[in-house]
Amino acid sequence: MNRKLLVALLLGVVMVLSFSLALPVAAQDRWDGADDLPVNPLDCPMAEGEAMPEATEEAPMDMPAYDGGQPTNAPDLAGQPIVLVDVPKLVGIGYFAATTLGQAQAAEELGNVTVTTDAPTEANIDDQIAVIDNYITQGVNGILFAANDPVAIAPVLTRALESGIHVVGYDANSEPGAREWFVNQAEFNGIGKAMVDSMVAEIGADGSFAIVTSTFTTPNQARWIAEMQAYQEKCYPELTWLETVEAQEDNVLSFNQATTLINKYGEELDGIFGMTSVATPAAAEAVVQAGLCAVDAANAAAGSPEAAVAVVGLATPNAMKPYVTGDNAGCVKSVVLWNPVDLGYAAVYVMRAVVDGTLKPGDATVEAGRLGTLSVVNGSEVLLGPPFIYTKDNIDGFDF
C-alpha cells in the first residue's frame, strides 16, 4: 500500500514537472527555435491599396567573405560526365518530388550529369547520415543535400569533402564549413513578410492566428517563424499570436493539431499558418471539415464572416488546388512558396559550375540555365529569388 502510494506520488511529481515545463513554451516570447540568430524584418507595405505584397527584392549588401568548405584532392572533371546523388530530407512527399524533377530537367539540359535521388522515408537525422555515408563509400562525384539538422549532418558532409566529393546543399542548410555552396530558395525575412502580409489581407490587421509547424527545432521553419514574429511586431502590432503547435511533417497529426486549434479557440481564431507542405493542406482540410471556410461561413450565416478561418501557408500547388480552385474553391486564397522545381534545377547547375570551376569562392554570380544569373549572398549561398505566391489565378499552371 505504502509502496503504491510512493509510486503514485512519484508519477504525480513527474507529471507536475512535465506540465510546469510545458507551460513556458506557450509563454515564450521568441520563436526562433534552435538558434539565436538576429532577425531582420523587411519594410512594411507602403500604401493602403496594395493588396498583394510586393516581391521582396534584396538590396545588394556588402558581401561577407566566402565561408564554405572545400573538397580535398577532388579530381578535375571539368566538362566531363559526373555522377551525383541527391539526399533530400526524406522521399515520398510532393515537395521533394518537385526538386527531383527540377534536377532531372537540369541534368537533361546539361547532358553530362547523372543524378539519382535517395533518402530515408522519414525525416530522421540518423537515417539521413547513414544514407550519405553509404554514398561516400560507394564513391560519387558530388552530393546534393537538404539537411534534417544543420549540425548533425556536418561531420558526414565533412567526411565527403575529405574524400574529394563536391557538396552542395539546397532547401535546408548545414553548417557552412561542411559544404561548398548552399542554394537558398528564399531569404527568411522575405518569406516571413509574404506570409504575414497574405494573412493580414484576409483577417485584417487586428485578427488572431495560430501556427502549425513541423518541430520547433526544424531550422527553416524556426527561422521563418522568428522572421514572421519580427515582421508582425514591426508592422502589425495589433495581430494576436495565439499559439504555435508542432505536428512533425505528419499528415494525420497536422490535421488533428489544426482541428484542436479550431475547437480550442473557437471564434477567436481567425487564421492558421501552415509552415510545412504537409501542415498547410491538412490545416485547410481541418477548416473545411469544421465548416469554417470563408465561403461556407458566408453562406451559412451571412453577415458574420468572422466565423471563418483563413489558411495561409507554405505548400506545393497540387496539394492546395482543391482548396484554391477545386471542390472547396476559395477556402485558401494564397499559398506562399518558391518554385521547388527551380530549386532542384538550380542546385544541379551550381554543382556543375563548381565542378567546372566556373563558380569559385569569392564569385558574386553564377549562370543557371533558364533561371539566368543567380546572385551569391551571405558568403557562400546562391539565392534563387523572391518568394512566389500561388493564387487562384496562377495555381493551375503548376503541376507538382
Partner 1 sequence: MTSSTLQQSDEMKSGVRLRAFLLRQEVVLFLMMMIAIFILTLGSDKFLTLDNLLNQGRFLTEIALVALPMTFIIITGGIDLSVGSIMGLCAIVLGYMWNPTGPFQWPLELAVAFSLLVGVLCGLVNGLIIVRIGVPPLITTLATLALYRGLAEGISQARSVRNYPEYFYELGQGTLLGVPTQLWMVLVFVIITAIILSRTIFGRSLYAIGNNELGARFSGIPVGLYTIMIYAFSGLMSGIAAWVFVSRVTTTRSDMGTGLELDAIAAVVLGGTSIFGGSGSIVGTVIGLVLIQLLKNGLALSGVTTDGTIVVIGTVLILAILINNYIQRRASAVE
DSSP 179: S
Helix (H) or strand (E) holding 244: strand 240-246
Least gap, CB of 164 to partner 1 (angstroms): 15
134-164 per-residue burial string, b: 16 or more CB within 10 A, e: under 16:
ebbeeebbbbbbbbbbbeebbebbbbbbeee
Between residues 24 and 266, which has the closer beta carbon with respect to partner 1? Answer: 24
Least gap, CB of 133 to partner 1 (angstroms): 7
Between residues 149 and 342, which has the closer beta carbon with respect to partner 1? Answer: 149
Cell numbers that stand for 83 in this block:
555522377
Between residues 130 and 364, which has the closer beta carbon with respect to partner 1? Answer: 130
Between residues 17 and 252, which has the closer beta carbon with respect to partner 1? Answer: 17
Please check whether residue 306 is in contact with residue 292, taking contact to mean a CB–CB distance below 8 angstroms: no
From CA 79, how far away is CA 113, in angstroms rounded?
A: 10
Between residues 198 and 248, which has the closer beta carbon with respect to partner 1? Answer: 248
Cell numbers that stand for 360 in this block:
569559385
Beta-sheet strands, E only, within the chain: 82-87, 113-117, 142-145, 166-170, 181-184, 208-213, 240-246, 271-274, 310-314, 334-337, 365-367, 373-377, 381-383, 388-390
Least gap, CB of 193 to partner 1 (angstroms): 23
DSSP 182: E
Least gap, CB of 67 to partner 1 (angstroms): 16
Least gap, CB of 138 to partner 1 (angstroms): 5
Between residues 18 and 304, which has the closer beta carbon with respect to partner 1? Answer: 18
Strands 82-87 and 271-274: unpaired
Note the residues at the interface with partner 1 (CB under 8 A).
3-4, 6-7, 10-11, 14, 17-18, 21-22, 24-25, 28, 33-34, 91-92, 116-122, 124-127, 129-131, 133-135, 137-139, 149, 151-152, 154-155, 215-217, 222, 246
Least gap, CB of 88 to partner 1 (angstroms): 11
Strands 334-337 and 365-367: unpaired
Least gap, CB of 221 to partner 1 (angstroms): 10
DSSP 311: E
DSSP 40: -
From CA 234, how far away is CA 196, in angstroms rounded?
A: 11
Between residues 123 and 203, which has the closer beta carbon with respect to partner 1? Answer: 123
